[in-house]
């Protein structure tokens, strides 16, 4: 498998972008599309339904899980259409259930031979990060492949969430 030194630039072939409906995740998706196009790569989108969030509800309500899943599916379908309109043909998504940290850092990268995870910078504030730890932080620390944390918009300017903007 020796390709000779310097004859081939490192190319990412399987890119994973976790999306959760946040502005930060949308930026990661948009940049993911651009990187996939440049690298002629496959783009895999994933939404992880955190099943632990439902465990403290007294009667485990399946309709709630279905509702969350339906919302995720609408978002993902929209993203797939957008990616295809940008000229990317190899794009798909999955909705997974479990702990987002390990699903994103380990399970999917192993199953799909992911070589790059592009993830939005966390939307949590400092206190929330202290208490629950950010998924992004965990993924950057433990992922089995390269991780790119997206902190800027498509013009590489610091991202300002329109809903958090203070004028």
Q: Which residues pair with 45 in a beta bridge?
A: 17, 93
pLDDT tens column, 87-129:
999 999 999 998 888 999 999 999 999 999 999 886 555 665 5
| Residue 86 resides in a domain | yes
Contact (Cβ atoms closer than 8 angstroms) between residue 54 and residue 60: yes
| Residue 9 resides in a domain | no
| Radius of gyration over every alpha carbon of the chain, rounded to an integer in angstroms | 17
In this prediction, residue 125 carries a pLDDT of: 58
Print the domain residue range for 147. Answer: 14-158
Distance CA 117, CA 46 (A): 11
Q: What is the pTM of this model?
A: 0.83
Residue ranges for the chain with pLDDT beneath 70: 1-9, 53-61, 122-133, 160-167
| Residue 2 resides in a domain | no
In this prediction, residue 130 carries a pLDDT of: 58
Q: How many domains does the chain have?
A: 1
| Residue 4 resides in a domain | no
* 142: its two tokens: 């433990």
Task: Count CA atoms closer than 13 A to 146's CA, side-chain side.
Answer: 11
Q: Which residues pair with 94 in a beta bridge?
A: 46
CATH number at residue 69: 3.40.50.620
| Residue 62 resides in a domain | yes
In this prediction, residue 153 carries a pLDDT of: 78
3-state class percentages of the chain: helix first, strand second, coil last, to nearest 5: 45, 20, 35
> What DSSP letter does each residue of 84-134 carry, written as one string?
HHTT---EEEEEEEE-HHHIIIIIHHHHHT--EEEEEPP---HHHHHHH--
Looking up tokens 């031979």 gives 113
| Residue 46 resides in a domain | yes
| Residue 33 resides in a domain | yes
In this prediction, residue 86 carries a pLDDT of: 97
> Chain centroid to CA 116: how far?
11
Using left for φ > 0, alpha for ψ between -120 and 50, and beta otherwise, residue 156 falls in left
| Residue 71 resides in a domain | yes
């Amino acid at each position: 498998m020796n390709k000779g030194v310097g004859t081939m630039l490192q190319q990412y072939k399987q890119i994973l972008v976790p999306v959760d409906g946040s502005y930060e995740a949308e930026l990661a998706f948009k940049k993911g599309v651009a990187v996939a196009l440049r690298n002629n790569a496959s783009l895999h989108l994933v939404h992880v339904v955190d099943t632990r969030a439902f465990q403290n509800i007294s009667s485990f309500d399946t309709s709630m899980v279905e509702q969350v899943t339906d919302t995720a599916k609408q978002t993902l379908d929209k993203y797939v259409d957008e990616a295809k309109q940008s000229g990317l043909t190899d794009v798909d998504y999955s909705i997974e259930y479990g702990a987002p940290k390990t699903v994103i850092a380990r399970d999917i990268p192993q199953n799909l031979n992911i070589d790059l995870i592009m993830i939005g910078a966390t939307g949590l504030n400092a206190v929330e990060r202290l208490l629950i730890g950010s998924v992004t932080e965990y993924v950057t620390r433990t992922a089995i492949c390269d991780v790119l944390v997206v902190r800027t918009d498509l013009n590489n300017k610091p991202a300002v969430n329109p809903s958090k903007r203070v004028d």
